[in-house]
Structure 1
Amino acid sequence: MADINAWVWWLIGAAALGIPLVITAMPEFGMLSAGAVAGAVTAGLGGGMVTQVLVFAAVSVALIVVVRPIATRHRTQRPVLATGIEALKGKQAVVVERVDGSGGRIKLAGEIWSARPLDASESYEPGRQVDVVDIEGATAIVV
């Protein structure tokens, strides 16, 4: 054990910290692993044990303090670009066949969709522009 250089132990530690990163998907383990790699580089450059530990601690803490809030913010943000049916909500459509409580058809995004009004007592005649407020299955809910 004494034959192995300190930088090798730091790399083993980095790999050991990488395993729970992959298993748990907790980015903090990756940041600690990066700190261990920095400790290995310090050991490879001839730094003493105290310097190695200080570099490990400084890099790990810096990454956790700086990167973690950014990663958390990106994880909680909704995507800026709406796709699928989310992209159709709020769009305007043109009534093709009378839309009333029993159904009807609209032209939405270049396609013909079945539609029904949000308020079942409302009806919309062909040619009228309506707004899509929701999509339920393959039916657009319009006002």
Structure 2
Amino acid sequence: MDWLGDNAWAVWLGLGFTLGVAELFSLDLILLMLAVGALAGMVAGLLSAPLVLQILVAAATSVAMLALVRPSVVKRLHSGPDLEMSHHKLVGQQGVAAKPISTLEPGIVRVSGEDWTARPYDEHLTIAEGEAVEVLQIRGATAYVHPVPRLES
């Protein structure tokens, strides 16, 4: 029993390692937080703290990790970029008018390498060929665009 008292850090290390390996199978991040608590108990053991204090340090660290760290890590892992599908991904992108665009005569705009039928968003505008435009809306298969302001030098 003296060996266990003198080498409690080794037990904490083994417990932390075992919990870490078990986490690889569960992927819930609960066992990983408990493993961090066990490693905190190991540090307390290396500092020759009494066994009761080691247990309290391990428990407090585990609870703190579960309450404070795990929720934000899980949120980060489970969230990702919003998936924009279909034509909605074109809204906000810039392109070039491949043919003149007016309300009376729809033109063609090239956005992200694709050609789209286009009309001006402001029905009083006429957009010349080669002018930079921004897609403001998609209705059906028609892109409603507005010219991108240019800085004159």
TM tier, smaller: 0.5 to 0.7
Q: Which residue of structure 2 aligns with residue 65 of structure 1? A: 67
Q: Which has the larger radius of gyration?
A: 2
Q: Distance in 1 between matches of 2:142 and 2:63?
A: 51
Contact 2:33 2:66 in 1 (8 A): yes
- Structure 1 residue 72: deviation in Å? 3.4
Q: CA RMSD in A?
A: 3.8
Residue number in structure 1 paired with 2:143? 142
Q: Cα–Cα, structure 1 residues 46 and 131, in superposed 2: closer, same or farther, change >3 Å?
A: same
What corresponds to 2:110 in structure 1? 107
Q: Which residue of 2 aligns with 1:137?
A: none
Output aligned runs, 1:12-23, within 5 Å: 12-23=14-25
Q: Which structure's residues are more often strand, by fraction?
A: 1
* Partner AA of 2:110 in structure 1: K
TM-score by length of 2: 0.60
Aligned 8 A contact 1:92 1:132 in 2: no
Count of equivalent residues? 124
Deviations 1:8-32 (A, max 9, x none): 1111100011012223322222211
Question: Alignment identity in percent?
Answer: 28
The equivalent residue for 1:11 is 13
Deviation at 1:73, TM superposition (A): 3.6
Counterpart in the other structure of 1:131? 135
Q: Which runs of 5+ in 2 are unaligned?
A: 102-106, 119-125, 145-153
**AA paired with 1:21?**
E
**TM-score, length basis structure 1:** 0.64
Gaps of 5+ in 1: 118-123, 135-139
Q: State the distance in 2 between where 1:86 and 1:22 align.
A: 38
